[in-house]
Amino acid sequence: MTPELRRKMQLGLLAGIALAALRTGYILYQRHEQKAEQTKRVQAQPLNPSYLVSPKKLYPYDLKSARQLTLQPVWVKEGYRYTYYPYDRATRHPNFSREAGQLLPIEKLQILDVVTAPSPGAPDQKQVVATFEKDSRSYAVPIGVLKDGNYQIYSDEMFFIQDPRDLYKDWPQDAWDAIAKHEVKPGMDEFQAAFAIGMGIPQPSSDPATKTVNYPNGGSPVSVTFQNGRAAGISSSK
């Protein structure tokens, strides 16, 4: 290969590298602009007042502090997430071998007591359970664990200790009517949808203004697409 040919090949290679770099830079620039535009659209949306609500918490750290749950009614934060079991008040033991049901969205309960019970398959720890009555029968729902003398109680994540209607009193009446019927309507936000049909599972999305959430809804799945924070598409699936 002559020096002249080698020089031409080197120049051609450099030109190809420069062209590829320019193309890559342009693609990255386009993606940056698209992302910036999407972020700008999201930031331009007014803040949902629901995010500003700060419900009271009990911060329980043992049985005595957890029994503050008995001092007022509680309301379930996420329906169809927590399983409850038959409870024998005489022996003070739940029957963990038989599921009795799942707590419903915004279900109102009167907690009667908070006790510990043996944890199935884990002899080194105990379950902390809250007991209640429903349809004249006694039940218990796990709200934490006791291990090595240490309590981990998550009732604050499970229950409101204030009436949700008072906490979110600015919501329109038609939203509360749909929640009472366990229905999602167009225009509802994610808080309202969760109050209506329980816990949801967000799906991946490349657009921050669009979000799809799948709700198990107690065996009657519902998929809701939120556009700019409001329900825009609602579909049921088997």
Q: Give how far the C-alpha of residue 145 lies from the chain's centroid of Cα atoms, to the nearest Å.
A: 21
Architecture of domain 63-160: Roll (2.30)
* Tokens found for residue 13: 């290679």
pLDDT at 63: 96
CATH of 171-236, one of 3.30.1450, 3.40.50, 3.30.450, 1.10.10: 3.30.1450
pLDDT values of the chain reduced to their tens digit, one per residue, 238 residues: 565 655 655 555 555 565 655 566 556 556 656 666 555 554 555 667 787 889 999 999 999 999 999 999 999 999 999 999 999 999 999 999 999 999 999 999 999 999 999 998 888 999 999 999 999 999 999 999 999 999 999 999 999 999 999 999 999 999 999 999 999 999 999 999 999 999 999 999 888 889 999 999 999 999 999 999 999 999 987 6
pLDDT at 35: 63
Long-range contacts of 40-46 (CB under 8 A, 24+ apart): 41/208, 41/209, 41/228, 42/208, 42/209, 42/228, 45/209, 45/228, 45/229
pLDDT at 207: 86
End-to-end CA distance of the chain: 70
- Tracing tokens 């105990």 back to the chain, one arrives at 126
pLDDT at 42: 47
Please choose, from the candidates 47, 54, 79, the residue with its C-alpha nearest in 3D space to the C-alpha of residue 168: 54
- Domain range summary for the chain, segments of one domain joined by +: 1-44, 63-160, 171-236
CA distances from 80 to 83, 158, 168 (A): 8, 11, 21
pTM higher than the cut 0.75: yes
